[in-house]
Amino acid sequence: MAKPAATFGVIAGTPVDTKMGVDFIKSMGFDAVGIPAASSPEEQNMLQYQKADTLTQKVIAIIDEFHKKNIKSIMIYCNSLSAAIDFKLVENKYPSSNILTPLQAYCNLALRYSRLIVWAANAQSLKVIEQILYESNPYIRVIGVTLLPVVNAIENLMPPEDILEKFGLANFLPRSFGAEGLVLGCTHFPYLKKILEEKLDVAVVDPMEEVLKDFVSHLNAF
């Protein structure tokens, strides 16, 4: 895998998932530094629903900090954060940057699968994800689920086995639906990916892995 010349700047909703994003980037062989947009899931949720403009400006300020360090590859490691901010404004402000978000994976996923279960942190994020999926493939069938309390459990580093038991995740998939994939529509949820793959008879998809693979392919083309 080729390595980009610049370090990734990681932005996520809280310190915990920002660290998860940094660890994810590093596990793929890249360098990364992170700055969170909020201090907790509750603050992040409040900003997303009540102060989206403020949240957009916080993301812009963080990118400015990265630019001061000559970091031009930015990963917004959060579905709900990506869905809440004015991403076009952010993207247009930094035309020379590579700004990656998990939302960039859903177009390809819609073309690859015909029946998906999308598990998001909140309904705002789920709405945007579903919109991308249906715009990309009007014939796709989607069941959407939101479960914010799992985010809090992950923030508290509850063991995956305990989370699985507490929230009944082993019975997550309606058998009659015939799902081909479970999409982890929150970047906290890869914390549970291994145990979900063990317990569920379905592909477990991490959109951020898809986005980074596409980015690396793009780099290798030049």
At 71-106, the pLDDT tens digits run 999 999 999 999 999 999 999 999 988 899 999 999
Task: Compute the CA torsion angle 90, 92, 96, 100 (nearest 10 deg).
Answer: 50
Structurally, how many domains does the chain consist of? Answer: 2
The model's pTM is 0.88
Tokens for 24, please give them.
């994810």
Q: Are residues 143 and 199 in the same domain?
A: yes
Q: Pick from 46, 77, 102: which residue ends a domain?
A: 102
Residue 158 lies in a domain: yes
Residue with tokens 């994003």: 21
Q: Are residues 111 and 126 in the same domain?
A: yes
Q: Are residues 108 and 138 in the same domain?
A: yes
Asked whether the beta carbons of 155 and 41 are under 8 A apart, the reply is yes
Rounded to the nearest integer, the mean pLDDT of the chain is: 91
State how far the Cα of 185 lies from the Cα of 201, in Å rounded to an integer. 18
Asked whether the beta carbons of 207 and 185 are under 8 A apart, the reply is yes
Q: In what order do the strands lie in the sheet with 32-36?
A: 32-36, 8-12, 73-76, 98-100
Read off the pLDDT band of 218 (50, 70, 90). low
User: Which pLDDT score is estimated for 59?
Assistant: 96
State how far the Cα of 110 lies from the Cα of 129, in Å rounded to an integer. 10
Q: Are residues 90 and 158 in the same domain?
A: no
Q: Taking the alpha carbons of 203, 209, 215, 221 in that order, is the dihedral positive or negative?
A: negative
State how far the Cα of 110 lies from the Cα of 219, in Å rounded to an integer. 24
User: Which pLDDT score is estimated for 32?
Assistant: 94
User: Which pLDDT score is estimated for 155?
Assistant: 93
Backbone φ and ψ for 74, nearest 5 degrees, come out as: -115, 130
Residue 36 lies in a domain: yes
CATH of residue 120's domain is: 3.40.50.1860
Q: Are residues 113 and 71 in the same domain?
A: no
Closest CA to 3 of 26, 33, 37: 26
State how far the Cα of 147 lies from the Cα of 85, in Å rounded to an integer. 21
State how far the Cα of 78 lies from the Cα of 24, in Å rounded to an integer. 13
H-helix segments, the chain: 15-27, 41-50, 52-68, 79-84, 87-93, 106-112, 123-136, 148-155, 160-166, 193-199, 207-220
